[in-house]
Every structure is written in structure tokens, then in C-alpha cells.
Amino acid sequence: MPDSAAPDVLRTARLRLDPLAPADLAAVHAIYADPVTWRHLPAGRHTTLAQTERMLDESEQSWSASGLGRWAIRLRAPVPGVGLAAGALIGVASATLTDCGARNVGYRLTPASWGVGLATEAATAVLAVAQTSDYPVTARALASNPASVRVLERIGLTRVWSGRGLPGATIAPVSGDAGATPAPGHPDSTALERVIFADRPLAPELLAAIIRLG
């Protein structure tokens, strides 16, 4: 049951964001297969079209289960300094619902569009709509990715945790404890320095669950 009455299509001064659709597959895959967009986490790169298809499916499930998911970001008009045409799909932004009951804000843009504030612009719109739903809004970034950390600061989220590993990592994981391993299907980033942001203080159990997402 959707929890949000927010419109699905978002418009900003320079961008239009539409719910990710099957027709976006090739353009989205090109961005997710580009090693430059995975410089900070090479293991996350999509090496098969099936991985991107799965991401589109997950987005659709998130839209129908929680009222929000992922959007394709397109230029409304040419942007000075960005050599891409009006209508070009430049990236993906998300406000998917995690299993632990928090929105996860994320973004990945084609390198040709970097450096002119477009991620901040898209993420600002996504945060606003995510905050119309009932869930805490969170975001995760690698500390080695200062541009992403900066975007999260610029949109007004607060740093609530930083560190490496999983909560209780000094204790041997209990067999069958799903929380002791990163979420299936996601690259393991738990050995890397990570930063978690949120739009409000998080209950300790929720924060621990988000840390476990890696």
C-alpha cells in the first residue's frame, strides 16, 4: 500500500525525474556499467544487463509496495558545461524502502554531467518527496567519496554514524544471523570507511540494521 501521496514525476529547474521504466534499461545500464561511476566501489559495477534489469525490478517493487522507488534523471534543456542534449538520461536517483523500514536516498550520474550541481538538485527533490512518507530518510556513502558525502550535506541530511565493519564485529557472527552479513546482491563495503546520514536521530536498532546493509 503506497504510503505517499506525492507525485511520481519530479521537476526541478534543470531536471525531470520519472519513475524508472523498462525502456530506460540500456541507458541506465551504460551508467551502471561505467567503471568511472564505481571508482570508489569497483565490485559494485554492473557487468551484465541482468544486474541492471534486477535493479529496475526492485525499483518497481519499491514503487508498488511503498509509493516511491527509483527515478530516471533527465535534462529538461541543455546545461552549460554539460555536453548532453535535452532529454538525455543522465542518471538515477532513489528513495527506495529498505527492509529495515527506512528510506535510502541514493544517486548515480553519468560523468559527463558531474560538477555543475545536478546531483544536489536531483537529491534535493528526492529528499523532499521522501520526507512526505512515514519513514526516516537515510543515506549511505563511502568516506572516500567526498563528492557524494558533500551532496548529502548540501541537501541537509545529518551525519549519524561513520566507521568500518558491522555492529558487534568484534563478536564472532552467530551462524544464521542474517544481520552479520551485508545485504544479498550488494557489494560488500563493510571493510571500508562508511558514513551514514539521516534526516532525524535513529533508534539504535534501526541504525545497527542500516550499518549492516554495508
Ligand X SMILES: CC(C)(COP(=O)(O)OP(=O)(O)OC[C@H]1O[C@@H](n2cnc3c(N)ncnc32)[C@H](O)[C@@H]1OP(=O)(O)O)[C@@H](O)C(=O)NCCC(=O)NCCS
Binding site for ligand X (CB under 6 A): 37, 40, 106-109, 113-120, 141, 145-148, 150-151, 154
Give the residue ranges of DSSP H helices in the chain: 25-32, 49-66, 118-130, 146-154, 204-212
When the beta carbons of 150 and 173 are compared against ligand X, the nearer one is 150
State the nearest-atom distance from the C-beta of 177 to ligand X, in Å.
Answer: 26
When the beta carbons of 12 and 25 are compared against ligand X, the nearer one is 12
Q: Taking CA 170 as the corner, what is the angle to CA 167 and CA 175, rounded to the nearest 5 degrees? A: 80
State the nearest-atom distance from the C-beta of 168 to ligand X, in Å.
Answer: 24
When the beta carbons of 64 and 158 are compared against ligand X, the nearer one is 158
Question: What is the sign, positive or negative, of the torsion defined by CA atoms of 165, 171, 173, 174?
Answer: negative
How far is 30 from 110, CA to CA, in rounded Å?
9
Identify whether the C-beta of residue 194 lies closer than 8 Å to the C-beta of residue 140. yes
When the beta carbons of 98 and 148 are compared against ligand X, the nearer one is 148
State the nearest-atom distance from the C-beta of 53 to ligand X, in Å.
Answer: 20
State the nearest-atom distance from the C-beta of 142 to ligand X, in Å.
Answer: 6
State the nearest-atom distance from the C-beta of 110 to ligand X, in Å.
Answer: 8
When the beta carbons of 49 and 112 are compared against ligand X, the nearer one is 112
CA distances, 66 to each of 6, 152, 201, 209 (Å): 11, 22, 22, 19
What distance lies between CA 190 and its chain's CA centroid?
A: 17
